Every structure is written in structure tokens, then in C-alpha cells.
Amino acid sequence: MLGRLGYGTWQFGSGGADDYWGLEFTDDMAVALLKQATAAGVTYVDTAADYAQGGSEKQLGRALKALAPDARAKVVIGSKILPNNCGDVRKYTEETLARLDVPCVDLYMVHWPINASSMAHFAGDRTAAGGRDYATTGALQKEGKIKHIGVSNFGVRQLADALETGVTIAVNQLAYNLLTRAIEFEILPFCRQRGIGVLAYSPLLQGVLTGAF
């Protein structure tokens, strides 16, 4: 069951001063923060294959093992696949499961819309040809390797196209906060009408709305 707040692990696996976050994010830091979050009632923990090129998933997997059994049992894990890799869903799902060291991921999302713009942004040696293999995603769900299928950053048109394939989308994860409210116009109503849950990321705009700056 998801609480009102989740914990994002984009910074997990960070590699030092030249990294996006400008720090070395250690396993001890990951464990301490994850324990603090779960003690405060957080049950949803979010990661992605693209965060630190898989390093976030690996570090999260190690940190989860440091939780007490009762706390670990409550954790719901969400991860994401790049749009470029959706032509080989099974391969990349298995890699995510291996990095997290879990038999099943609770929520598996397509990180960005599967279109030329998104795939051009992520193009590189670590990505494969694009595709829309929702059938394999559904098969992995039946095999017990994925509990729920979701998407992230999908607009109304991309959601409609995905739904036409017959896939059941549980969640659309989107940027939403007091200053970023565009989804209120079309996307939120569309999701409500079709029973798609909405997960808001950057609710505090990466700290800008905390009053600390």
C-alpha cells in the first residue's frame, strides 16, 4: 500500500564531484536515509535503470537488505525502463531485477514516451532500438516478475496510444508541485477517467519549495 509520500533515489549510486549531484553517495548514506524514510512511514521507493547508469538500483538493492524484516515487507519498489530499450523489455527487466536483487519489481514504468524526441535524448551505447513491446511486459507480469505496469511523463496522446495496445496502466508518474501544474489541464482528468493513478515527482521542486533556500 502506498503512503502519501515516496522516497526518490535518483542520487543513489552517485560517483563523486564530477557526477550530476556533485558528491559520492555511499552505501552508509543510502542505508541511513532509507531507514529514516521508512521509520517516518514512507512505503514507496522510486528508482530507475537510468539513474547512475544502474548504480541507483544496485545501491537501493543493498540498502533494502539492511532494513528490518517488518520494514522491508512494507516497501513498494518502483523502477523504470528507458524508451530506447522498450524493444527488448525482457532483457532490461531482468537486468533491473538483478541489480535490485529481487525476484519481482512492484511497479515497472516506461520512463519517457516512446517517441523520436525521447529516444534521441537518451541515444548512446547503453540503449537499444526502440519499440512498444507491451505484450512482453504483460507476459512478465503473468510470470510474477512485474506486479504493476506504469508509465512516466506520458501526455494524453501517449497514454491513449499505450492503452490501445490493451495494456493496463496502473500509474503515470509526472512532475507536479505548486509551481509545476500543467498536468491539471488535461492529463489529470484523463487519468481519473481511466482509473490511472498519478505519482507526483519533485513535489518540493528538488528542495526549492522547502523554504531552506
The residues spanned by each domain of the chain are 6-206
State the pLDDT at residue 171. Answer: 97
Give me the helices (H) in the chain, please: 27-39, 55-64, 69-74, 89-100, 116-122, 134-142, 156-163, 187-193
44, 51, 108, 134: which is the annotated catalytic residue?
A: 51
Q: What is the pTM of this model?
A: 0.91
Closest CA to 66 of 28, 104, 103, 37: 28
State the pLDDT at residue 122. Answer: 63
CB neighbourhood size of 143 (10 A): 11
- Which amino acid is present at 90? R
Q: Which residues have a Cβ under 8 Å from the Cβ of 156 and sit 6 or more positions away?
A: 186, 187, 190
Residue 7 catalytic?
Answer: no
Cα separation, 38 vs 23, in Å, equals 23
State the pLDDT at residue 130. Answer: 45
CB neighbourhood size of 148 (10 A): 17
Please provide the DSSP assignment of 25-46 as one string: --HHHHHHHHHHHHHTT--EEE
Classified by CATH at the fold level, domain 6-206 comes out as TIM Barrel (3.20.20)
State the pLDDT at residue 124. Answer: 55
* pLDDT per residue of the chain (213 residues) written in tens, 0 to 9: 677 889 999 999 987 666 666 778 899 999 999 999 999 999 999 999 999 999 999 999 999 999 999 999 999 999 999 988 888 899 999 999 999 999 999 999 999 887 666 656 666 544 444 456 788 999 999 999 999 999 999 999 999 999 998 999 999 999 999 999 999 999 999 999 999 999 999 888 777 778 777
Closest CA to 63 of 102, 28, 99, 107: 28
